[in-house]
């Protein structure tokens, strides 16, 4: 039979457990709007009296000795946390891509496209005027000025694309230094604080919340995996979890360890080649990992890498180049346009009779070159310009395929006043051409205007595609976030119900205490009277 005064201990512990639960409910309610806070509950266990002495004692009625609060626990689901962080990385990647591609879309907006098409139309119009009076130096000068405006407009595209690249590179640098490096450093610092608390048997739930919040933010930067095993043995009777965060090696090699308890890695950005920026990282063992770029497959880091380095169909995937359609891809498309534009018109201007009456025998007569004003071997959208020869002499443009020659070759018939070559240039401007990359692979067949329309359409399609991906990823992320909040978040309705329930338990325990007091009073003061 339970001792009389033992029952007072049962009542006392019941009130203590209820009061602890009420206090935790109050803590939950006060942190309902605290970022990263995890709902807590009191761990209550039944107090046992069983033991060897009771096992071999004379059988009696055992009524138990109540319950007690042994600690507080955070309500988290590791599986949902892992899904949350994986989806957060994907969502961040798409959001980063959408923002960057939207900047590209601004470069190729309708106004700028119409500007280029307008300059091309003006160039054609001035060529038509020159075809009507092919011997006029003044009209030839007007046509040259129109050609200069075309090259300047194409140059503008290249400059604006460079500005977008610079902006995205600066954004990436901020993510690397102000976000990634800050997060891993602070998480490692929290690991040390948490371990110090755990060694003394404490449960630092608030520190856990700070660490989990930083891990959530880190998961938006890169694809990470979190592990808490095996245990670190402190003494024979004490061990604490070993905490690490890593980026999984996609090729099966050693994973890149970002955080190992109190140790942390440090990332940097190599912009030596602005067209191919590279992430660098020194892991927790002090080893520089050169495979970080291929193993970061998600998060804002991957979004920026795809934007800056993405070469699309120009990528050498065997060499590990990104085949995303990024700034490099669209800059290269403009290079192809500029090179093809110069090449086609240079061919027409050079296909004229030389001193011997043979077509092309006097060599190239280029009206468009690179920034040197002479060479044409590496014309890009940025360096395209009217040739120095044409700048010095407006009539350098050949109006006829058969100019007047002195002396006149045998069977050669000059047509100096003819505008046949100008008409060929005009025809070339509306001719369907095969646009090819540097390897000779065909990109598109169409006119110059159709090519630019295709580029603009492609950018718009990319923005729309990634926007849809982003919306889908965000919806999935929100679903997972809601599921996590259902477990770890504070619900005022639920806490209100708990508060009422714990208050009732507390009142019942007090009533039980009073009944025990009344019974004891009866035994002491009234029995035998």
Q: What percent of the chain has pLDDT over 70?
A: 94
Q: How many CB atoms lie within 10 A of CB 307?
A: 29
pTM beyond 0.85: the answer is yes
In tens, the pLDDT along 251-305 reads 888 999 999 999 999 999 999 999 899 999 999 989 999 889 999 999 999 999 9
Task: Say how far apart CA 198 and CA 215 lie, in whole Å.
Answer: 20
pLDDT at 110: 64
Q: What is the pLDDT of residue 31?
A: 95
Name the percent of the chain in helix, strand, coil, to the closest 5: 55, 15, 30
Residue in the block written with tokens 């040390």: 192
Structure tokens at 491: 């619900």
pLDDT at 76 over 80: yes
Written as one string, the DSSP assignment of 235-303 is ETTEEEE--EEEE--TTSS--EEEEETTEE-EEEEE-SSTTS-EEEEE-TTSPEETTHHHH--SHHHHH
pLDDT, average across residues 384-400? 93
Backbone angles phi and psi of 402, in degrees to 5: -125, 80
Mean pLDDT, the chain, rounded, equals: 89
Q: For the CA atoms of the chain, what is the radius of gyration?
A: 39
Q: What is the pLDDT of residue 353?
A: 80
Residues 322-327, mean pLDDT to the nearest whole number: 91
pLDDT for 362: 80
For tokens 């965000």, what's the residue? Answer: 474
Q: Please check whether residue 35 is in contact with residue 213, taking contact to mean a CB–CB distance below 8 angstroms.
A: yes
Confidence of residue 523 (pLDDT cuts 50, 70, 90): confident
Q: 208 near 193, Cβ under 8 Å?
A: no
Please tell me the predicted confidence (pLDDT) of residue 379: 94
d(CA 333, CA 353): 34
What pLDDT digit, counting tens, does each position of 141-178 carry?
Answer: 999 999 999 999 999 999 999 999 999 999 999 999 99
Res 30 pLDDT > 80: yes
Contact 259, 188 (CB under 8 A): yes
What DSSP assignment string belongs to 416-454?
A: TT--HHHHHHHHHHTS-EEEE-TTS-EEEEE-HHHHHHH
Residue 28's nearest CA partner among 493, 483, 495, 485 is: 495
For 424, residues 6+ apart whose C-beta sits below 8 A from its C-beta are: 348, 401
Residue among 498, 489, 512 at smallest CA distance from 22? 498
Task: Indicate the pLDDT class of residue 529, thresholds 50, 70 and 90.
Answer: low
Q: How confident is the model at residue 230 (pLDDT cuts 50, 70, 90)?
A: low
Give the C-alpha separation, 499 to 490, whole Å. 13
Contacts of residues 120-125 at CB distance under 8 Å and 24 or more positions apart, as own/partner, are 120/150, 120/429, 120/448, 120/449, 122/146, 122/149, 123/147, 123/149, 123/150, 123/429, 124/426, 124/429
Taking CA atoms, 196 is separated from 164, 199, 457, in Å, by 47, 5, 58
Average pLDDT over residues 376-403: 92
**Per-residue pLDDT reduced to its tens digit, 179-193:** 999 999 999 999 999
pLDDT value, residue 23 = 94
3: pLDDT confidence band, cut at 50, 70 and 90? low
Q: Is the pLDDT of residue 326 over 70?
A: yes
CB 213 within 8 A of CB 207: no
- pLDDT of amino acid 62: 60
pLDDT at 235 over 70: no
Confidence (pLDDT) at 357? 76
What is the average per-residue pLDDT within 458-485?
96
User: Closest by alpha carbon to 275, among 236, 324, 230, 326?
Assistant: 326
Residue-range domain boundaries for the chain:
4-75+489-525, 82-104+160-324
Alpha-carbon distance 100 to 300, whole Å? 11
Reported confidence tier of residue 232, pLDDT bands at 50, 70, 90:
low
Q: How far apart are CA 509 and CA 64, in angstroms?
A: 15
For residue 517, the model assigns a pLDDT of: 83
Task: Say if residue 51's pLDDT is above 80.
Answer: no
pLDDT average, residue stretch 83-106: 96
Query: Which of 45-49, 284-288, 373-377, 387-391 is modeled with the greatest confidence?
Result: 387-391
């Amino acid at each position: 039979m339970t001792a009389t005064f033992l029952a007072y201990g049962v009542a006392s512990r019941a009130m203590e457990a209820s009061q602890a639960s009420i206090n935790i409910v109050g803590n939950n309610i006060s942190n309902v709007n605290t970022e990263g806070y995890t709902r807590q509950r009191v761990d209550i266990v039944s107090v046992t009296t069983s033991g060897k002495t009771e096992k071999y004692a004379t059988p009696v009625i055992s009524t138990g000795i109540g319950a007690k609060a042994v600690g507080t626990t955070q309500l988290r689901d590791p599986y949902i946390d892992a899904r949350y962080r994986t989806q957060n990385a994907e969502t961040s990647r798409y959001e980063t891509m959408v923002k960057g591609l939207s900047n590209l879309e601004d470069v190729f907006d309708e106004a700028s496209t119409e500007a280029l098409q307008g300059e091309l139309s003006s160039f054609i119009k001035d060529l038509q005027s020159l075809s009507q009076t092919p011997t006029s130096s003044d009209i030839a000068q007007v046509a040259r000025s129109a050609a200069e405006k075309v090259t300047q407009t194409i140059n503008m595209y290249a400059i604006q694309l460079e500005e977008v690249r610079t902006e995205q590179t600066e954004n990436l640098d901020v993510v690397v230094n102000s976000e990634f490096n800050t997060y891993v450093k602070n998480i490692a610092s929290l690991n040390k604080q948490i371990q110090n608390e755990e060694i003394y048997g404490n449960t630092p739930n608030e520190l856990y919340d700070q660490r989990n919040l930083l891990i959530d933010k880190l998961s938006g930067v890169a694809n990470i995996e979190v592990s808490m095993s095996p245990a670190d043995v402190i003494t024979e009777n004490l061990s604490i979890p070993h905490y690490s965060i890593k980026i999984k090696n996609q090729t099966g090699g050693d994973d890149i360890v970002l955080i190992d308890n109190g140790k942390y890695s440090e990332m940097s950005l190599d912009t030596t080649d602005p067209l191919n920026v590279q992430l660098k990282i020194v892991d927790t063992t002090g080893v520089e990992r050169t495979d970080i770029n291929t193993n970061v497959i998600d998060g804002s880091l991957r979004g920026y890498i795809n934007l800056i380095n993405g070469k699309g169909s120009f990528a050498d995937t065997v060499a590990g180049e990104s085949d995303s359609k990024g700034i490099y891809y669209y800059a290269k498309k403009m290079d192809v346009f500029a090179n093809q534009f110069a090449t086609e018109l240079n061919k027409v201007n050079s296909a004229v009779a030389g001193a011997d009456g043979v077509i092309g025998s006097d060599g190239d007569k280029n009206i468009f070159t690179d920034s040197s004003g002479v060479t044409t071997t590496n014309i890009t959208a940025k360096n395209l310009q009217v040739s120095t020869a044409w700048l010095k002499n407006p009539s350098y443009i050949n109006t006829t395929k058969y100019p007047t020659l002195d002396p006149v070759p045998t069977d050669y018939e000059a047509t100096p006043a003819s505008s046949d070559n100008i008409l060929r240039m005009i025809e070339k401007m509306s001719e369907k051409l095969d646009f090819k990359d540097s390897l000779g692979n065909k990109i598109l067949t169409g006119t110059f205007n159709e090519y630019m329309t295709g580029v603009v359409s492609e950018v718009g399609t990319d923005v729309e595609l990634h926007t849809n991906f982003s919306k889908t990823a965000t919806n999935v992320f929100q679903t997972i976030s809601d599921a996590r909040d259902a477990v770890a978040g504070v619900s005022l309705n639920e806490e209100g119900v708990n508060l009422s329930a714990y208050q009732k338990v507390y009142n019942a325990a007090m009533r039980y205490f009073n009944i025990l007091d009344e019974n004891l009073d009866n035994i002491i003061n009234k029995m035998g009277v």
